[in-house]
């Protein structure tokens, strides 16, 4: 099974992978101006340059609504080489600074 899946947005190829630290799909474009370089392999992908994802995270109350005082911007900063991911020290999660974890396989349909 692949570790990357692709879709298109406005004729731009977008790759999706499941981040084992954030437990969320991260998305990046690999075509067009400013796109990442990709080796074309979905099972053992290599992407460059590094990937920095900025997210808004928050806790939810018992009704599922965001708790305003917990809203914050966080970053996940990584390299993907040969189907493995390593995290830079500037990540918000517990895997910050760790090296070479297997990217999980994911379904072909990222939705």
Q: pLDDT tens, 35-50?
A: 899 999 999 999 999 9
Which residues, given as ranges, of the chain have pLDDT below 50?
110
Q: Is 36 exposed, middle or buried (CB count within 10 Å of its CB: 0-12, 13-18, 19+)?
A: middle
The Cα–Cα gap between 49 and 36 comes to 6
Give residue 109's pLDDT. Answer: 58
Task: Look at residue 52 and give its three-state secondary structure.
Answer: strand
The Cα–Cα gap between 79 and 107 comes to 21
Task: Look at residue 43 and give its three-state secondary structure.
Answer: coil
Give residue 72's pLDDT. Answer: 84
Query: How confident is the model over 20-38, as pLDDT tens digits?
Result: 999 889 999 887 778 899 9
Give residue 110's pLDDT. Answer: 47
């Amino acid at each position: 099974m692949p570790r990357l899946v692709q879709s298109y947005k406005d004729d731009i190829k977008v790759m999706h992978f499941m981040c084992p630290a954030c437990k969320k799909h991260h998305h990046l474009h690999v075509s067009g101006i400013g796109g990442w370089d990709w080796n074309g392999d979905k099972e053992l992908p290599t992407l460059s340059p590094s990937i920095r994802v900025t997210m808004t995270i928050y806790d939810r109350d018992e009704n599922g609504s965001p708790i305003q005082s917990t809203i914050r911007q966080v970053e996940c900063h990584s390299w993907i080489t040969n189907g493995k991911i390593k995290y830079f020290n500037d990540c918000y999660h517990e895997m910050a600074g760790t090296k070479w974890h297997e990217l999980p396989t994911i379904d072909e349909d990222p939705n």
